[in-house]
């Protein structure tokens, strides 16, 4: 009888341990939607050896499609703070302008003959370890190009690779080494780039869950709507802007409004005055947008919107409060 009681006590103890372990597994948070089961099933040594995501610190460059490179070069050379990129542009065969602090550039590429809807040709993000970033993405099933290296001069170079997000938008990651001193001059920085998104949940699994982007702000034309969803890079203040609720049959003009990029200025009214001095006779604004920031919109020769905006809001935004730090000049 005592032996039977002892056995029962052992069974009860083991059952309690199993119940406790099961409860802990249920309480353990999943790091990303859809990954919880894979993480619990993966052997411990595989999880420990998986590459870690490296920092993503901002937007390095934006590449635009244009139909006439020479005329577009003239347009952008007259835009606020935009100048020939110098040595920092020696890694690209395309016309290139310096627009941001230290390294940011705007690039022009002749558009394909037909079939191009998004004239925002590529967004390039900066990272501090391009090789590890590529390993991290490949380990998570993302197809990535090989790493390419481009030299500016004998003392500096850049390494980069290309991928596409779930909706096919081309993006790249770049690491720069020893940028020449003549490129460290203040300009008007690129604050964000925006593009049409059909399925925000799918895009969020890539940008938020995998790459670590964070919510900055969202809002809509109506207070209870969501037409713009802004997410910042995880280790900086630059952001990308989902342009939502765009009809599938949107024409070139509408897509030019939606697929855009933005430059930052301290004073939008001074920026508007400078644009007029530079020969811009027509642009929209200045006005305060739904995000609470002063801004204006100009359009290049192919109808791509160039947004110019102040760094911080002048009033409370509609719809949702900002949830991450604002960029600074």
Q: Domain for residue 223, yes or no?
A: yes
State the CATH number of the domain containing residue 90. Answer: 3.10.180.10
- Given a cut of 70, the residues of the chain with pLDDT beneath it are 1-48, 86-88, 90-91, 101-102, 152-156, 178-187
Phi, psi of 125 (to 5 degrees): -105, 145
The answer to whether 58 and 325 are in contact (CB under 8 A) is: no
pLDDT tens digit sequence for 51-60: 899 999 999 9
Q: Domain for residue 123, yes or no?
A: yes
The answer to whether 180 and 156 are in contact (CB under 8 A) is: yes
Q: Domain for residue 297, yes or no?
A: yes
Q: Domain for residue 3, yes or no?
A: no
Q: Domain for residue 135, yes or no?
A: yes
pLDDT the model gives residue 52 = 94
What's the total number of domains in the chain? 1
Domain that holds residue 196: 56-310
pLDDT tens digit sequence for 270-306: 999 999 999 998 999 999 999 999 999 999 999 999 9
pLDDT the model gives residue 50 = 78
Q: Domain for residue 250, yes or no?
A: yes
Q: Domain for residue 209, yes or no?
A: yes
Q: Domain for residue 200, yes or no?
A: yes
């Amino acid at each position: 009888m005592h032996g039977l009681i002892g056995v029962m006590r052992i069974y009860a103890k083991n059952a309690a341990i199993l119940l406790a372990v099961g409860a802990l597994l249920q309480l353990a948070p999943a790091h990303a939607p859809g990954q919880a089961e894979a993480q619990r099933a993966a052997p411990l040594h595989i999880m420990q050896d998986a590459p870690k995501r490296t920092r993503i610190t901002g937007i390095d460059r934006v590449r635009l499609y244009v139909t006439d490179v020479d005329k577009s070069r003239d347009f952008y050379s007259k835009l606020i703070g935009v100048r020939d990129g110098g040595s920092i542009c020696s890694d690209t065969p395309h016309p290139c302008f310096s627009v941001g602090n230290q390294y940011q550039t705007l690039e022009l590429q002749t558009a394909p003959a037909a079939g191009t809807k998004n004239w925002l040709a590529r967004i390039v993000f900066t990272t501090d370890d391009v090789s590890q970033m590529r390993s991290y993405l490949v380990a998570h099933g993302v197809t990535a190009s090989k790493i390419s290296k481009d030299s500016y001069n004998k003392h500096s170079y850049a390494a980069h690779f290309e991928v596409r997000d779930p909706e096919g938008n081309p993006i790249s990651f770049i690491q720069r080494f020893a940028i020449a001193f003549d490129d460290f001059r203040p300009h008007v920085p690129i604050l964000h780039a925006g593009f049409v998104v059909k399925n925000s949940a799918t895009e969020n699994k890539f940008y938020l869950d995998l790459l670590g982007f964070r919510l900055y702000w969202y809002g809509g034309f109506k207070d209870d709507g969501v037409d713009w969803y802004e997410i910042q890079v995880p280790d900086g203040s630059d952001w990308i802007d989902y342009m939502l609720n765009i009809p599938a049959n949107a024409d070139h003009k509408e897509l030019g409004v939606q697929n855009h990029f933005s430059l930052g200025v301290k004073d939008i009214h001074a920026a508007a005055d400078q644009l007029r001095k530079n020969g811009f006779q027509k642009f929209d604004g200045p006005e305060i947008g739904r995000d609470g920031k002063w801004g204006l919109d100009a359009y290049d020769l192919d109808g791509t919107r160039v947004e110019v905006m102040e760094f911080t809001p002048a009033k409370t935004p509609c719809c949702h409060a900002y949830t991450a730090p604002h960029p600074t000049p």
